Structure 1
């Protein structure tokens, strides 16, 4: 494992990101995007393994840890994070790259791959829901709908007050509800998480990712209008894609894989046991899958 120094980079999108960069400057670039409620440290094991032969670039995305935290929900629309990604690549002189994503980072990666195939050469995803299958499952799979109700809670305007009343330690224990995750978080890692969450403005900014998302989460009882696009063809992801899916994820259910082969024709799908936080819960298995994918593609 490595603790990487961070480089502060100002982008024309109006934010400054802290970015961990390692590996030979002339090596093939991999840009790694973390999810909620984490930081570049999500990728610490992956980066340590591949640093001898790839240029690894892992930002703390806008709103997280020490990166900029613009005010207002609209600043956290997914299109803004895609713009940050491309601006970061431009700043570092990276034309095309392999994009790696987990959780929310995967959501941004899917969007970038669909809208900028000239920039994204390959995709490597770890428990990152495709936008079509996620929205479809929220309407069609009762288990996935139930598992996503936390999003509705997080979108409440008083959610920060709820967490403050709960206390940071209690919130931490509820956020990492899976025993597989809790057992792998050392006291040092726990203190890092808590410090990052309590950075001024960070928690509201992190939650604003959910508030700004166009994702519709139906209530457990009753029905709401189904998005029309779910009944129309959806554009395919054209890049070679590795999708590593830990099947015991409490937040993202196996139904999110239904129809994925049609949406991602050039797909390498790896199903494995384990929980949501794949990059550090089971880094060896993920690294092995990435090694095989990069060697083949």
Structure 2
């Protein structure tokens, strides 16, 4: 199985966060070059911190880069819960930043679910975030209160039955599945991601490095009014980056709902990356890196 060869190698640290052993991946500045500050990268749903390797390698600036595995993903502990809640991610991020980057505003780059978390956090703790690059984390579809009975019933049913993730006979099979999900992913990149997205099970097979409970629907509806109230408190400059072939969000940019969400942010710049899907940091890491470097600078 071919595997991508990183240009910059990461190391791992583990920190106690709310009773969990949290894994944090760190890319130290390149030696013999002036260091240029710190950048924090936050991954999305069913992803891991190592997913940012291609983006890290594309940066020209010599940042120290910090990227945690969210609770229940990668090498971070699973809390033993039967479902996951957004407030937990906010509290985890707050403690991690206070541990690793105390008493200073930070620059965040966050993808998908991580982008949702980071934008909420930027409104809840506006003094802690200087710049935010949101990669396809536009929030979820708005809901109506009358949807609540069916949502609670669905959550109860899914909790009762539990959730499972498919397992694989080898990491090569994992890589093949990743390539099927994203045709733009080269075999070498798929092989690299398979090494970090999967863990060996006790039976010798491989399972994705994520708690199956993440697949259980959230019991609470996405209350867009509450989300926008948080967004209105954001004081950081925000850049939203979307992919022109994103199956999730590109069409959403032309809707009235997106216009209203955009108005909630004091300072928002929107960029579109060509020839990329939702995993745009895999598809076009160089283009995404240039946008981030110019914006953070």
Per the TM superposition, whether the score is higher than 0.5 is: yes
Decide which of 77, 84, 87 is 2:95's aligned counterpart: 87
Q: Tell me, yes or no, if structure 1 residue 246 matches structure 2 residue 235.
A: no
Paired residues for 1:104-143 under 5 Å: 104-129=113-138, 131=139, 134-136=140-142
Decide which of 222, 226, 229 is 2:225's aligned counterpart: 229
Contact 2:39-2:64 at 8 Å conserved across structures: yes
Contact 2:12-2:23 at 8 Å conserved across structures: yes
Matched residues, number: 265
Cα distance in 2 for partners of 1:200, 1:171 equals: 12
SS at match of 2:270: strand
Contact 2:129-2:236 at 8 Å conserved across structures: yes
Who is 2:38 aligned against?
Answer: 29
- Which consecutive unaligned segments of at least 5 residues does structure 1 have? 140-150, 218-226
Contact 1:77-1:209 at 8 Å conserved across structures: no
Q: Would you tell me which structure has more strand in proportion to its own residues?
A: 2
Alpha-carbon shift at residue 64 of structure 1 (Å): 1.0
Paired residues for 1:142-291 under 5 Å: 157-160=161-164, 163=166, 169=173, 173=177, 177-181=181-185, 185-195=189-199, 202-203=209-210, 205=211, 207-211=212-216, 213=218, 216=221, 229=225, 235-236=231-232, 237-255=234-252, 258-259=258-259, 260-273=261-274, 274-291=276-293
Cα distance in 2 for partners of 1:79, 1:46 equals: 28
1:277–1:70 CA distance, 2 compared to 1 (3 A): same
- Cα distance per residue 1:170-208 (max 9 Å; x no partner): 8972795232246673334324323279788953x2x43
Contact 1:124-1:290 at 8 Å conserved across structures: yes
1:244–1:177 CA distance, 2 compared to 1 (3 A): same
Alpha-carbon shift at residue 73 of structure 1 (Å): 3.2
- Which consecutive unaligned segments of at least 5 residues does structure 2 have? 1-5, 145-153
Cα distance in 1 for partners of 2:174, 2:12 equals: 29
Cα distance in 1 for partners of 2:224, 2:50 equals: 38
Q: Would you tell me which structure has more helix in proportion to its own residues?
A: 1
1:110–1:170 CA distance, 2 compared to 1 (3 A): same
1:114–1:66 CA distance, 2 compared to 1 (3 A): same
- Pick which of 177-186 and 1-10 moved more: 177-186
Who is 2:19 aligned against?
Answer: 14
RMSD: 3.8
Cα distance in 2 for partners of 1:23, 1:228 equals: 38
TM-score (structure 1 length as normaliser): 0.73
1:196–1:99 CA distance, 2 compared to 1 (3 A): farther
